[in-house]
Structure 1
Amino acid sequence: MEEKIIYIAGLGLIGGSLALGIKRRHPHYKILGYNRSDKSRIIALERGLVDEATDDFKAFAPLADVIILAVPIKQTITFLKILSEIDLKENVIITDAGSTKLEIVSAAEQYLTGRPVQFVGSHPMAGSHKSGAAAADVHLFENAYYIFTPSKLTGQQTIADLKDLLSGLQARFIEIEAAEHDRVTSQISHFPHILSASLMEQAGDYAAEHEMASRFAAGGFRDMTRIAESEPGMWTSILLTNKAAVLERISDFKQRLDSVAELISQNDENAIWDYFAKARQTRKEMEIHKRGGLESSFDIFVDVPDEEDVILEILELLRGTSLVNVHINEENREDINGILQISFKNANDLEHARQVITSKTAYKVFIE
């Protein structure tokens, strides 16, 4: 049986979860890990995420058949330069897990061209509010996009070999050019974080003079600003490595705000109605509730009354089922029920939940 050596630099949520996915499909592969902090290395070893771990990035690099850089973007670029100065295995595959791709791919081509190595950019589009090796989850990438961005150093077999290595993640692999990746993610990921943070900044300043703004903030405002709690360092790095695309999206949005402001100023009721109707239809047509082109956001909605222990009652019925998320969609009204939204990893768990809740309670259950 062929044994490969996989070297993962960065044993946090992403790197640790990659290790678990690789071990699930290739238990005989040896996984080596790098992490600067003692805590993550110890946890990674105790949980069996890696077979050996080091705080010296250079130590394991010459041994590896595949090197995965699961570290922040700027550190990824630094490590690519370091790898260009190390005697690596011939045809070693080097990849990363960064959220922006063009700067990383360009750095790889700059530093590694002329070396007998393969490089392809990667972006596993999954995450969690948790962090560190303790948060590593073998299910993290299931049904999520795992994007490859080829480079001049990507061979004919490079991506196929990575797909085999990462097949235990049960992700949905897709290839896209690095610059286009950054343009797309500037719209659907990077700019929304700016908008969310700006809403929180505005609301915070407003609440200083209007105290009830903080009390009434729920429902849609909460949903739109959830991602404002994201880690500041990571998002600073993302914005500064995708600057042109992000600035273009900001400029475009300013114009759209000015346009709707003009409609309101002119009391143009029909145009305002059309504005909201178009947004509503566009959202329905987008694959927001899909990942990998397939229905894989398995959500069930339960119409629940505002009574003590209702949620605990439902969750008790679902004991043993793999839940992804539990969310209450409430409105700023006291005379209506709330909607309990429960997300699952697969359709079987979704159907089981529907049957159990329907048969064991009187609550209305529906699936979008």
Structure 2
Amino acid sequence: MAKDKVVLAYSGGLDTTAIIPWLKETYDYDVICACIDVGQESELEGLDERAKYSGASKLYILDVVDELCDEYIMPTVQADAVYENKYLLGTSFARPLIAKKLVEVARKEGAVAICHGATGKGNDQLRFELSIKALAPDIKVIAVWRQPEWKLDSRDAEIAYCQAHGINLPFDAAHSYSRDRNIWHISHEGLELENPANEPNYDDLLVLGVTPEKAPDEDEYLTLDFEKGIPTAINGTKMKVSDIIRELNRLGGKHGIGIIDIVENRVVGMKSRGVYETPGGTILMEAHKQLEELTLDRETLAYKKLVATKFADLVYEGKWFCPLRESLQAFVEKTQETVTGQVKMRLYKGNIIKAGTTSPYSLYSESLASFTTGELYDHKDATGFINLFGLSMKVRAMMNEKNKNNDK
């Protein structure tokens, strides 16, 4: 009889490599690995061979980089969504797309279950499972780290398990950060980072760039063109979004931009410490905000900041496919109709310095903003405005003064 199939979210790292023989040994599944290429680059090398000698019957490698950039990253950038004012959501918005592709593979293969290696302490278990529930409520989800049969409770134990099954791995527990990489960012957890009192060992840690101290002593100018909140060109050269992000990663990494050390609040209730490298994303989001400063009116910009916070929370919590996130995106898209123009910046030792912003939809009026009285604004007009704007405060002060006198 044919065995039941399970689709494993496979990265080729320690956890998912150990999971392949464990699934076969524990549940007698036919294990089909699915590696979703979201821009891991060199991490994808040798995966086919590793998956097969680990016991997988098949490996899918699906390139979804452009889909990630266009349909997940860009809506987040347009929303200005940043979790807890620091984290640019690199892992968070990639997980729902990965889950979507896992469901597609499971449907194609007739699999009865989807398996992931996210721990029971992290956020990714929510992101994978909520997405799968939203897209395929009939498919069983196996969260290995929450299964009673899973006894591999440390990286050392996983390595020993793999070795016992004839699987040799190119890393060891003492020198391996827990990392997640895609075209947008790379995250680092573990080792010295587990204690917030420790300074990160940046010489071993950084992958996409250098620290500001090691960045060039010369600055570099950069221009970004946008159409309706979407970047379209760097320094006058038109590119698709994924290529723009790659080039910004190169430039940002070179100049020590986008290194964030954060203790964040996980959804499950604990705090965790990580270091994120997001050089290109940091530049892109800053440029987008600069253009919005010029093109959005005061009330819309203020309300959009509220939307940004809620949008970020939903994405962080794994609720990409919920109605509220989709509705917020509809609002954001409306605000982006005039977010068109060019942003010029200067990159220097970890800093992004404004160097000029232009837009055909600019709401800035030099004649209004200058100290010279013009046709649209007379300084004397402010007198009546201030009287009305502060009327409630004046009335309250008069009431307080009256009551003080009555108490005497």
- TM norm structure 2: 0.28
- TM norm structure 1: 0.30
Q: Which has the higher contact order (CA 8 A, sep 6+)?
A: 2
Larger radius of gyration: 2
